[in-house]
Amino acid sequence: MNNFMKRFSAVSCSLGFAVFAALSLLSTATLASTPDGETPANEGVCDPLKGGTGGLYGLCVAYCEAQDLDSFEKEPPRSKILQNYNKKKQAGDPDMPCMQVPCPCWSGAELASIGADGFAMCTAGTNSLQILNTTPGAARQSAEANTSLGAERCRYIDLGASTIRSFRITPEEAQSCFAQVEQACAGF
């Protein structure tokens, strides 16, 4: 083989390797990407499961975070991961964290509007939690969830919009409503 052919072969090999390496990195980044574009997708929805029943945390990450299902607007797909989670789950373990049951009393926007200007107060009862807008001069606005067994209820009041909703709800809905109010209260 002459010198020209040896140099051409070496350059071709180096160029081919560089293209292969670039494509490999690009495909790895694409595969590691999640629907919301965050890489990695560890958004913390599964963190409360760390140190609990073995395997639940990993299944939660695979189901909720890798698929970006921690939003109330997304309907989780049926999957073997959820079935395996429910099989491993023991008494006292929570349901899959990203499986949210909507609260029938308010929308996310209505709940977020309570105290959006920075004035809100939260009060807790034995099995209830309420967030109340305390803006001086504003019309009464509040959301409340009660998880008492047999008395599960949610209530939303916005007197400025002439809206009052109060419902008897399922225990699952009560837990979801309570969690939503709890999250809203955490901001104050």
Range of the domain at 156: 108-186
Domain annotation covers residue 19: no
Q: 57 and 123, same structural domain? A: no
Domain annotation covers residue 4: no
Domain boundary among 100, 126, 147: 100
Domain annotation covers residue 122: yes
Domain annotation covers residue 5: no
pLDDT of residue 12: 47
- Specify the number of domains making up the chain: 2
Q: What is the pLDDT along the chain (188 residues), one digit of tens a residue?
A: 555 445 444 444 444 444 444 444 444 444 444 555 554 444 678 888 998 999 999 988 888 877 655 554 454 455 688 888 889 999 888 888 877 788 999 999 999 999 888 899 999 999 999 999 999 988 899 999 999 999 999 999 999 999 999 999 999 899 889 989 998 998 77
Domain annotation covers residue 26: no
Domain boundary among 100, 120, 141: 100
Q: 146 and 127, same structural domain? A: yes
Q: 67 and 129, same structural domain? A: no
pLDDT of residue 130: 97
Residue 18's φ and ψ, nearest 5 degrees, are -65, -45
Q: 115 and 84, same structural domain? A: no
Whole-structure pTM over 0.85, yes or no? no
Domain boundary among 55, 72, 100: 100
Q: 114 and 182, same structural domain? A: yes
Q: 67 and 121, same structural domain? A: no
HEC string of the chain equals: CCHHHHHHHHHHHHHHHHHHHHHHHHHHHHHHCCCCCCCCCCCCCCHHHCCCCCCHHHHHHHHHHCCCCCCCCCCCCCCHHHHHHHHHCCCCCCCCCCCCCCCCCCCHHHHHHCCCCCCEEEEECCCEEEEEECCCCCCCEEEEEECCCCCCEEEEEEHHHCEEEEEECCHHHHHHHHHHHHHHHHCC
Q: 120 and 173, same structural domain? A: yes
Q: 158 and 88, same structural domain? A: no
pLDDT of residue 170: 92
Task: Classify 68 in phi/psi space as left (phi over 0), alpha (psi -120 to 50) or beta.
Answer: left
